[in-house]
Amino acid sequence: MKNDKILIDHGSGGKLSHDLVQQMILPVFDNSLLSRQDDGAVFQIGEDRFAFSTDTFVVTPLFFPGGNIGELAVNGTVNDLAMCGATPLFLSAGFIIEEGFSITDLEKVISAMKKAADVAGVAIVTGDTKVVPIGAADQLFINTSGIGRVPDHVNISGRHAMPGDKIIVSGTIGDHAAAILIKREGLPFETPILSDTASLNHLVKKMLDASDGIHVLRDPTRGGLGTTLNEIAIQSNTGILISEDRIPVKKSVSGICGLLGFDPMYLANEGKLVAVVRKDDAEQILQVMKNDSLGKDACIIGEVVSDYPGKVMMTTHIGGTRFVDMLTGEQLPRIC
Amino acid sequence: MKNDKILIDHGSGGKLSHDLVQQMILPVFDNSLLSRQDDGAVFQIGEDRFAFSTDTFVVTPLFFPGGNIGELAVNGTVNDLAMCGATPLFLSAGFIIEEGFSITDLEKVISAMKKAADVAGVAIVTGDTKVVPIGAADQLFINTSGIGRVPDHVNISGRHAMPGDKIIVSGTIGDHAAAILIKREGLPFETPILSDTASLNHLVKKMLDASDGIHVLRDPTRGGLGTTLNEIAIQSNTGILISEDRIPVKKSVSGICGLLGFDPMYLANEGKLVAVVRKDDAEQILQVMKNDSLGKDACIIGEVVSDYPGKVMMTTHIGGTRFVDMLTGEQLPRIC
């Protein structure tokens, strides 16, 4: 970071984001909970363990096929808590609103937040509203933070992947980013692509009830599946081997990626999860996922290996192998 | 709200902010915790009671006499938790950074956050960083959310003011807003006015240890002391009678207010609290406050009365009386 300017790539969720956090934020804040770099912090207070997570949403456009910034903000933090194995309980909502923003649109966003909170079974219990003059913010930004309770037997972390573990993805990748992209660019696509924004906590609960062999849960948002798998490989100091043929991608998403030069491996998802699970339990967990509407397209895409620790290897469609790196650069700013 | 546009006044912390929350947000989110409208939500999980609060900081300039946005963001949420009577424990930090923002300045802000967290005795355990293109945000916004634990015997709320209670303010009012104002306008003042940004949790602990007669705690930030007292009067459905002569205002702050036409009663504070306490305990609590550097200028400014419920009355310097309303309009956008 010799350049003294923050770049768009610092917010990509990929390599530069990783560097910013690793080199600048972690050394200063310096505490063991933050350093674990999971989707939320897990700590004990009294008899109970809790998860705590925060996420800020700057998506543009605010309204897109399949949702709006309101449900995205609720589902995003609900999912971060669920990826800690927690039962999400309470959410906060912090709004930054640009002067002149439509009250009707704000009502739509707030109403979507309430609906999403009801579906997830969480309550929005505290909030804050700031208004800034025209030009000081682009329409509306929302921060949500959340608290969940971690059941006694659950111990999920990006550090827990072990060689032999199977890697499951809960459904097709890239839907959210493709929906945003089409809306943003005004592309005339016949097949509508909808954002997959959804709260995954009920699916996660079913998975945790079915097996005590779930080692890692992660939702591949910014940076996409490719970056998420790299993070897990680094945190657990293992290799990851996946098969390109097995990664579920909708034809329409594949199509737009081909047309515009995007790689679905790096597209953001807002209603999908990656699970790293004990080999012997993989089929059982997969079945539980397939029985849930949010996991119906789930599949095993690969496994954890002891070779090439910290790296992700993929066998490609044409039968070769190549390393899959973290996202470098930024494909789509303000995707979430 | 017949106009369909959000106005700057909606973010003032005063009357329009109150209306926005009352008429639009509370009815939709509809839950008893949020409806209490205290500085944070207090709820029970298992055996323990917790406070949870969120605040977003959009202050400009980012660096001002006495502090910067970093410590303001930490102290602000620490104080909101303390005003619930909670012991603050864990904070989250969500950054929205404008592309091109100086990394050196970001380091200064993060370092100030760490120092403030250390002073308050809290840990920043989870975070999020978003970068938006140039022009989509003004430099840097920070959201902090926080969790604290509420001791068993503590039961603080804006609804608990009772006729006869004494009203204590912990020190001089308006310092933060005056410091921002001078910096923003580039005014050549001889006496430096510093922001009062500070974490009040240690002071609050001493007060709670000294007496079980503390009914309300509130930090008069946006909207100032005048608005805060009105909120308490409305929440508790009591009247409040204060004496203008007793309200501590620094001469320099008074001076700038006279010069520029501001009323210190509506200026934001970031290191002051208002306590509504049982009459018989008031002197003892005051003494405890005066013994702490953050409460050395504390004084009793008035009392809770059964007349004119929901209103704040002030006996003025010249011996008359007048109602003190909530802030209407916005004196100083982006003060915190």
How many C-beta atoms lie closer than 10 Å to residue A117's C-beta?
25
Give residue A83's domain range: 38-150
Q: What is the mean pLDDT of residues A11-29?
A: 89
Does residue A161 fall inside a structural domain?
no
Residues B55, A94: contact at Cβ < 8 Å? yes
Residues of A in contact with B113 (CB under 8 A): 28-29
A168 phi and psi, to 5 degrees? -115, 135
Residues A17, B129: contact at Cβ < 8 Å? yes
Asked whether residue B146 falls in the same domain as residue B196, the answer is: no
Nearest residue to B327 via CA among B265, B248, B247? B265
Asked whether residue A190 falls in the same domain as residue A304, the answer is: yes
Q: Which of A3, A12, A125 faces B34 most closely, judged by CB atoms?
A: A125
Asked whether residue B237 falls in the same domain as residue B203, the answer is: yes
| Token pair belonging to B208 | 């709670």
Asked whether residue B299 falls in the same domain as residue B233, the answer is: yes
Asked whether residue B170 falls in the same domain as residue B109, the answer is: no
Q: What percent of chain A has pLDDT over 90?
A: 83
Distance CA B303, CA A225 (A): 60
Residues B66, B197: contact at Cβ < 8 Å? yes
For residue A61, say if its preceding peptide bond is cis, omega within 30 degrees of 0: yes
Residues of A in contact with B93 (CB under 8 A): 29, 54
A8·B103 Cβ contact <8 A: no
The helix (H) or strand (E) run that includes residue A110 is helix A103-120
What residues contact B89, with CB distance under 8 A and at least 6 apart? A45, B122, B123, B146, B147, B148, B149
Asked whether residue B313 falls in the same domain as residue B180, the answer is: yes
DSSP result, B10-46: GGSSSHHHHHHIIIIIHHHH--HHHHT--SSEEEEET
End-to-end Cα, chain B, rounded Å? 25
Asked whether residue B269 falls in the same domain as residue B179, the answer is: yes
Q: Strand, coil or helix: what is A61? A: coil
How many C-beta atoms lie closer than 10 Å to residue A287's C-beta?
12
Distance CA A265, CA A263 (A): 5
DSSP result, A279-330: GGGHHHHHHHHHTSGGGTT-EEEEEEESSSTT-EEEE-TTS-EEEEPPP-S-
Does residue B2 fall inside a structural domain?
no
Distance CA A160, CA A276 (A): 8
At which residue do the structure tokens 């963001």 appear? B73
B253 phi and psi, to 5 degrees? -70, -45
> Which CATH number covers residue A45?
3.30.1330.10
Question: Count of domains in chain A?
Answer: 3
DSSP category for residue B246: G
Does residue B188 fall inside a structural domain?
yes
Write down how long chain B is. 336
Q: What per-residue confidence (pLDDT) applies to A2?
A: 58
Least confident of A95-104, A123-132, A283-292, B327-336: B327-336
Asked whether residue B66 falls in the same domain as residue B198, the answer is: no
Q: Strand, coil or helix: what is A241? A: strand
| Token pair belonging to A321 | 């192998």
Distance CA B51, CA B43 (A): 7
Asked whether residue B297 falls in the same domain as residue B171, the answer is: yes
Cα–Cα–Cα angle for A113, A114, A115, rounded to 5 degrees: 90
Distance CA A50, CA A52 (A): 7
Residues A173, A249: contact at Cβ < 8 Å? yes
| Token pair belonging to B269 | 């504070």
Q: What per-residue confidence (pLDDT) applies to A118?
A: 98
Asked whether residue B189 falls in the same domain as residue B272, the answer is: yes
pLDDT in tens, chain B (336 residues): 457 999 999 988 888 998 999 888 999 998 888 877 888 999 999 889 999 999 999 999 999 999 999 999 999 999 999 999 999 999 999 999 999 999 999 999 999 999 999 999 999 999 999 999 999 999 999 999 999 999 999 999 999 999 999 999 999 999 999 999 999 888 877 778 999 999 999 999 999 999 999 999 999 999 999 999 999 999 999 999 999 999 999 999 999 999 889 999 999 999 999 999 999 999 999 999 999 999 999 999 999 999 999 999 999 999 999 999 998 887 788 999
At which residue do the structure tokens 């930004």 appear? A141
A102·B5 Cβ contact <8 A: yes
B333·A133 Cβ contact <8 A: yes
Strand partners, A274: A169, A218
> Which CATH number covers residue B280?
3.90.650.10
Does residue A12 fall inside a structural domain?
yes
Asked whether residue B98 falls in the same domain as residue B174, the answer is: no
Residue from B17, B104, B130 whose CB has the most chain A CBs within 10 Å, to mutate: B130
- Choose one of B150, B184, B210: the last residue of a domain: B150
- Choose one of B100, B123, B150: the last residue of a domain: B150
Nearest residue to A101 via CA among A61, A127, A56, A131? A131
- Distance (Å) from the C-alpha of residue A87 to the closest C-alpha of chain B? 12
Asked whether residue A232 falls in the same domain as residue A304, the answer is: yes
- Distance (Å) from the C-alpha of residue B7 to the closest C-alpha of chain A? 5
B20·A129 Cβ contact <8 A: yes
Does residue A159 fall inside a structural domain?
no
Does residue A329 fall inside a structural domain?
no
A123·B97 Cβ contact <8 A: no
Residues B96, A136: contact at Cβ < 8 Å? no
Does residue B31 fall inside a structural domain?
no
- Choose one of A150, A184, A201: the last residue of a domain: A150
- Distance (Å) from the C-alpha of residue A15 to the closest C-alpha of chain B? 13
Q: What per-residue confidence (pLDDT) applies to A37?
A: 81
At which residue do the structure tokens 């620790």 appear? A309
Does residue B200 fall inside a structural domain?
yes
Residue A11 vs residues A58, A124, A222, B103, B131: alpha-carbon distances, Å: 11, 27, 9, 13, 5
Residues B334, A97: contact at Cβ < 8 Å? no
- Distance (Å) from the C-alpha of residue A35 to the closest C-alpha of chain B? 8
